[in-house]
């Protein structure tokens, strides 16, 4: 807040967000009243010195504090009393501290474990999950595993101890430790992006998408094909998607493509592409397991003086917005990541209501034909 603009003073402020140096514990709420005078909008801010507590709600509703506590914790409260409490909450826009609800019988908190925060696919999935849950009065607690399986298991355990209502795991892989942990858990856990035999899974159709891409490269007349895959610790992308690509190529007589493995990074894509060129200078197509790996391949090919697609065709998986900005535009396969997040969140809430859910849901894919593949027939 600007110097001199104290409580009760009128100030011309354009932005709705107010930045203040006043200690947080001194601030309860800021109310903004707009008045129009002579065509000019003015803002009036009023501060209180105390944050509203459950004691305050109980006093205004004329009920005991223990009754308010039961209300927030999902306990038994008479309907008439519930309406009184709700009326006070709505009047004062009271929002209980999410972490204060961690000891409640129902916390309205959902844990989400993701492999990384630095991913377009993860961003889409998380946006969809958060929006779906927020619209239903749930709050998400997000933990990133940084592509570390042990950290992923620790994150699941920590969220269970935090008393979340349920967990969505965008898993790196599914190990025996994962299965044991989920079997012991007393809350529902839904796995997305990886198939879990003994649990509930929302997965991409990785094998069929991979096979489609392999067949696409085969039928366009390519012979010297290389594949940049990710490590097989990722069962979905590193195994299922790769096997689909290999089977698709095999259907067109390409039985021994050069395969290089990488992590998920742009640098990893560059390193793998350089290894391919060192081993096979006659390569005429590179199929990349993700768009980001394809970005790395683009750079290495261009540095080597090779033209895309005239000399080497390149494809990816992901359908990132950035892929459309490449020159030439990348040919890729896009999965509906928003649908994956939506279905994952919906499935978890249905489990919380003890409703029946499918054991496995498969997300379809869409081919996006850019101009990075040449028909060599």
Q: For 326-344, what is each residue's pLDDT tens digit? A: 999 999 999 999 999 999 9
Does a structural domain hold residue 4?
A: no
pLDDT bin (cut points 50, 70, 90) of residue 315 is very high
Same domain, 27 and 142: no
Condensed to tens digits (0 to 9), the pLDDT of residues 108-153 reads 899 999 999 888 888 899 999 999 999 998 999 999 999 899 999 9
In a shared domain, residues 89 and 133:
no
- Percent residues over pLDDT 70 in the chain: 83
Which of 30-34, 219-223, 275-279, 372-376 bottoms out in mean pLDDT, i.e. has the lowest? 30-34
User: Does 103 reside within a domain?
Assistant: no
Give the range of the structural domain holding residue 30, as residue numbers without chain letter: 10-47
What number is the average pLDDT over the span 267-296? 97
Is the entire prediction scored with pTM above 0.95? no
Same domain, residue pair 193 and 214: no
CA distance 19 to 211: 54
Average pLDDT over residues 32-43: 34
Are 199 and 343 within one domain? Answer: yes
Total domain count, the chain: 4
Average pLDDT over residues 190-216: 95
79, 133, 273, 322 from 75: Cα distances, Å = 12, 22, 59, 49
Rounded Cα–Cα distance for residues 340 and 361 (Å): 9
In a domain, 91, yes or no: yes
Compare 101 and 224 and report the one with higher pLDDT: 224
Confidence class of residue 23 from pLDDT cuts 50, 70 and 90?
Answer: very low
To the nearest 10°, report the CA torsion of 237, 241, 245, 250. Answer: 120
Place of tokens 């603009």: 5
Residue 265 has pLDDT above 70, yes or no: yes
Looking at the structure, do residues 175 and 210 belong to the same domain, yes or no? Answer: no
Q: Are residues 187 and 115 in the same domain?
A: yes
Domain shared by 42 and 69, yes or no: no
What mean pLDDT do residues 29-40 have? 33
Shared-domain flag, residues 116 and 88: no
Provide the CATH number for the domain around residue 328.
Answer: 3.40.50.2300
Which pLDDT does position 71 carry in this prediction?
A: 76
Has residue 306 got a pLDDT over 50?
yes
Tell me, yes or no, whether 210 and 299 share the same domain: yes
């Amino acid at each position: 807040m600007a110097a001199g603009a104290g409580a009760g003073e009128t100030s011309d402020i354009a932005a709705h967000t107010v930045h203040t140096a006043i200690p947080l514990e001194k601030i309860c709420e800021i109310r903004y009243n707009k008045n129009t005078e002579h065509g000019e909008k003015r803002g009036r801010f009023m501060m209180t010195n105390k944050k509203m507590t459950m004691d305050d709600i109980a006093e205004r509703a004329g009920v005991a504090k223990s009754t308010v506590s039961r209300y927030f914790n999902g306990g038994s409260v008479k309907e008439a009393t519930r309406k009184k409490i709700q009326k006070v909450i709505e009047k004062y826009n009271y929002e209980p501290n999410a972490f204060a609800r961690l000891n409640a019988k129902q916390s309205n908190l959902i844990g989400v474990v993701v492999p990384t925060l630095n991913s377009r696919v993860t961003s889409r999935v998380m946006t969809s999950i958060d929006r779906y849950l927020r619209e239903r009065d749930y709050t998400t607690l997000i933990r990133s595993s940084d592509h570390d399986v042990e950290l992923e298991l620790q994150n699941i355990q920590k969220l269970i101890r935090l008393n979340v209502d349920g967990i969505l795991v965008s898993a790196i892989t599914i190990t025996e430790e994962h299965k044991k942990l989920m079997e012991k858990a007393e809350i529902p856990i839904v796995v997305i992006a990886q198939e879990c035999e003994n649990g509930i899974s929302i997965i991409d159709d990785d094998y069929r998408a991979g096979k489609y891409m392999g067949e696409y490269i085969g039928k366009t007349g390519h012979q010297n094909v290389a594949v940049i895959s990710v490590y097989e610790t990722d069962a979905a992308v590193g195994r299922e998607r790769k096997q689909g690509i290999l089977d698709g190529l095999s259907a067109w007589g390409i039985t021994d493509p050069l395969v290089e493995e990488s992590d998920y990074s742009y640098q990893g894509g560059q390193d793998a592409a350089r290894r391919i060129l060192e081993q096979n200078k006659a390569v005429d197509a590179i199929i990349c397991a993700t768009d980001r790996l394809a970005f790395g391949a683009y750079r290495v090919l261009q540095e080597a003086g090779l033209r895309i697609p005239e000399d080497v065709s390149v494809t990816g998986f992901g359908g990132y917005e950035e892929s459309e900005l490449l020159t030439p535009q990348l040919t890729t396969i896009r999965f509906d990541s928003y649908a994956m997040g939506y279905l994952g969140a919906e499935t978890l809430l249905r489990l919380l209501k003890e409703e029946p859910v499918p054991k496995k849901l498969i997300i379809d894919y869409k081919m996006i034909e850019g101009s990075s593949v040449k028909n060599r027939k």
